[in-house]
Structure 1
Amino acid sequence: MHKFSKIYHGILILIYAVYLFLVIANLWTGWIYTFDPVKGYVRGSLKYCTFIITGIQVVVTEVAVLKHRQVLSSRMFTVFILYPVLSAIVLSFQIFNEYWLMTGCSGTVTIIIMYLAIQSDRIEIDYKSGLRTEQFLDRIMTKKMRPCTLSMISLENLGVLQENFGSTEVDNLVYNLVRSFRLNIRGHFYRSGSKFIVVSPHGLVDVLEKQINASFAKYRNFLSKKGKNYSFEYLAASVNVPEEATTYSDAVEILKSLVDNARKEKTCCVVHSNDAFINAFKRKKAIIKILERELNPSSTQYQVYFQPIVSMVNNKFVYAEALSRLMDTEIGNISPGEFIPIAESNGLIEKLGKVNFEKVCEFISKNSDVVKAVSVNFSVYQMLNPEIEDFVFGTIEKYGIKPENIIMEITESILIDDFEVIRERMEEFVKKGIVFYLDDFGTGFSNFANVIRLPFYTIKIDRSFVLMMEKDVEMLKLVKNLISTFKDSNLKILVEGVETEKQDELVKDAGVDFIQGFLYSKPLPMNTYLDLLRKQKAEIP
């Protein structure tokens, strides 16, 4: 125990021992007070001892608070600094009015206040390392961002070490590692599970790699078990605030992304942000903001394009696939290849799917004279949502269209999530008139047995098969056999991605029922697609 702590605890123990002795002795001596049948409460000869004891306790406590100011939160510091003020006010009333018994009350209330403050602060302390938690830093930095360098240090194999050497030993090692941080790294440290956040003076990014590596130097091959050496495996990243991140949440997101990238690419232990990374991050944040704003049925920037599908029966466009687009935004047109993964990773894909579906239903409703059906992509999240059936048929009813106007496209990934739930859900849709396409067959993990167990009407063969058919004779035979097998099971075949005359000839020769691709039409804006359908309708005798 620290020398000051021993003195502090010794003084407090002595104070409380003296006070306890006086209280017990008062039962027989009346040194502090007595109750007279006539006069009532009467102060004793040692009546000021309680005030002196309280004063000593206050002084000792304030000295300790001032000495350890740097490890106390502002909230704790404020509570302890107000402690002598409150005590002085109460003691003043007590001294000048002997009928006010407030000393004990003031002490009790003050102790309760301090106890609650301490318990509140304990939530924000990681006692295994002795550090404040990252939640504490989040609260402080969110209130006021100051220029600084933020670093994240991730212990990559903490679980492995705990399994091999036990939590107690590893906790001690982490505690010593934190001491090494403080010796080598300039800054304040916070912990969140297996990650540490370091707040350093602004502009230290260039030297942090050396400092972080130095902190771990003594922990390389420091443990051994069954002839195998173990070390702390770590990744770290740094970012400057506010140049590269204007909010604390953005800074942490950048740091996590940098660490994740380093983990995937198995790069060096310490990575730093750069202009390209920061620009990509800012663009992603801008796209998220646009999606949150524009994902509504009335949006003009979120649009639905339609790629026509041609039937081999009459060589006419019979359906179209609805495709999402973000057009004319403040950062220009954004491709679905960019914004759809961002929507998926930020919890917006289900909302995107709903808005897409509602726009399609409205489009069909307004143009039912030429639009017979549209295929709409449904994500895993939508299909596994128990409210999907109510949403689909509620929207169909809202716009006064028929279930037969809707083709639901689902990808192979759905088939491996919860097969039985999906199968039952699909059967309910089919009973009410909905048609299902299996999208992008050949890119996932489904097998023929699972596919034919589900009520699909059409299988969409992925473009990758078309390219392989074009280059490899054996693959051409394989695809032809696959198509034949599906058709024997009463399934229609649609091939997507046909762009050349040669590809068109190959897929037609393979016996497909529908073709979708740039050779026939690119995805079209709503009005252009309607013009195409009306022109086609006018040409039919």
Structure 2
Amino acid sequence: MSAIDRHEFVMYLQPQFSLISEKIIGFEALVRWDNPKYKLDSPAEFIEIAENNNMIIDIGRIVMEETFRLAKILEPYNIKISMNISPVQILQAGFVAEIVNSFERHELKEHSISIEITETFLMTSFDMIIEKLKLLQARGFDIHLDDFGTGYSSLLYLKELPINAIKIDKDFTKYSNSDKHSRAIINMIISLAKNLDLSIIAEGVEDDKQYKFLQKAGCEVIQGFYIGKAMKLEDAIDIIKAYNIDKSAPLLTKKR
């Protein structure tokens, strides 16, 4: 029996916080391998293994269905969910039809789901991927470019990509407290996004200094341990209530 048959791949949700409204406005759905025997340091490790062993299609299907299920549960809170897909998945024949059919079966609203892609998408079959992303965007999915600034091709292809948002890579955020170059790059990315009429999300926010810098720089949304780690559904609902309803979250109460 495989890990898929044993239902070992489970979804966690990491909150995304608006610096404008000071509310939780979304979550990134992150898959985890729940098996202590094969505990890995990061999800990227088993995703790489899955891609190399042709398991990524089946895992991707689990991610899609679970993300849509969670999105439907969180719909009353006006929350958006983003999910990651791999180049292997999107290049599969019938992928667009499959994801659209699942989206419609769950009766989700347009723009409630964002698809995150990385710059590895740009390395192969670029034209085919662009075509599929445009089809998905036309059917109500938002497209986010993840880990922006870490690859050589970002600016070269940015004008061609049908994207709605840029996500600043966590390494820039990590060093923003001590490295002026990281701060300069973040300011440049935010300015670029605004000029292109794209939303901007900063990943890897871990402390108050990073929070305040990004707020001053004009970043719209942040994600990271400062707001919350990836969590299960019941904890996600609790954090929505703490930020959006009760206003009891420590980050909000210390400002009063």
TM bin, normalised by shorter chain, reads 0.7 to 0.9
Please say which structure displays the higher CA radius of gyration: 1
1:331 aligns with 2:43: no
User: Which residue type is aligned with residue 387 of structure 1?
Assistant: G
Q: Cα gap change, 1:395/1:453 in structure 2, threshold over 3 Å: closer, same or farther? A: same
Partner SS, residue 50 of structure 2: helix
Going from structure 1 to structure 2, the CA distance change for 1:319 and 1:408 (only over 3 Å counts) comes to: same
Partner of 1:291: 3
Q: Which residue of 2 aligns with 1:465?
A: 172
Instruction: Please point out which of 90, 102, 124 is paired with 1:417.
Output: 124
Tell me how far apart the structure 1 counterparts of residues 235 and 189 of structure 2 sit (CA, whole Å). Answer: 35
Partner of 1:521: 228
Aligned counterpart in structure 1 of residue 115 of structure 2, from 405, 408, 416: 408
Q: Identify the match of residue 366 of structure 1 among 65, 73, 78.
A: 73
Pair 1:346–1:469, CA change in 2 (3 A): same
CA distance in 1, matches of 2:104, 2:212: 41
| Matched-pair contact (CA < 8 Å) for 2:12–2:29 | yes
Matched AA of 2:187: K
Shift of 1:330: 6.0
Identity within the alignment, %: 30
Backbone CA RMSD of aligned residues: 2.0
Point out where structure 1 has 5 or more consecutive residues left out of the alignment: 1-288
The C-alpha deviation readout for 1:85-132, integer Å capped at 9, x for no partner, is xxxxxxxxxxxxxxxxxxxxxxxxxxxxxxxxxxxxxxxxxxxxxxxx
TM-score by length of 2: 0.88
Q: Residues of 2 paired with 1:422 and 1:518: CA distance?
A: 32
Distance 2:154 2:244 in 1: 39
What residue in structure 2 maps to residue 507 of structure 1? 214
Bigger share in helix: 1
Instruction: Write the distance in 2 (CA, Å) between the matches of 1:332 and 1:448.
Output: 38
Note closer, same or farther for the CA distance 1:333–1:526 as it changes in structure 2 (3 Å cut): farther
CA deviation map 1:30-50 (0-9, x unaligned): xxxxxxxxxxxxxxxxxxxxx
- CA pair 501-355 structure 1, distance change in 2 beyond 3 A: same
Equivalent residue number for residue 480 of structure 1: 187
Q: Is the CA contact (8 Å cut-off) linking 2:51 and 2:88 kept in structure 1? A: no
Determine the C-alpha separation between the residues in 2 that align with 1:347 and 1:421.
Answer: 21
Relative distance call for 1:421 and 1:471 in structure 2 (3 A) is same
* Residue of structure 1 equivalent to 2:254: none
User: Where in structure 2 are the equivalents of 1:48-67 lying within 5 Å?
Assistant: none
The answer for the alignment partner of 1:188 in structure 2 is none
2:196 counterpart residue number = 489
Residues 330 and 485 from structure 1, CA distance in 2 versus in 1: closer, same or farther, beyond 3 angstroms? closer
Residue 345 (structure 1) shift: 1.6
Q: CA deviation at 1:432?
A: 1.5
1:291–1:343 CA contact under 8 A, matched in 2? no
Residue 316 (str. 1) matches residue 23 (str. 2): yes
The Cα offsets for residues 510-534 of structure 1, whole Å up to 9 and x where unpaired, read as 2211100001111111111122223
SS in structure 2 opposite 1:486?
helix
Measured in 2, the distance between the counterparts of 1:486 and 1:366 equals: 31
Cα pair 2:27 2:79 within 8 Å, conserved = no
* Inter-CA distance 482–364: structure 2 relative to 1 (3 Å threshold): closer
CA distance in 1, matches of 2:116, 2:160: 16
User: For the structure 1 residues 511 and 537, does the alpha-carbon distance in structure 2 shift closer, same or farther, using more than 3 Å as the test?
Assistant: closer
SS in 2 for 1:414: helix
Alignment match of 1:356 (pick from 52, 60, 63)? 63
- Partner AA of 2:161 in structure 1: L
For structure 2, the residue ranges without an aligned partner over 5 or more in a row are 248-256
For these two proteins, the number of residue pairs brought into alignment is 246
Quote how far apart the aligned CAs of 1:346 are: 0.9
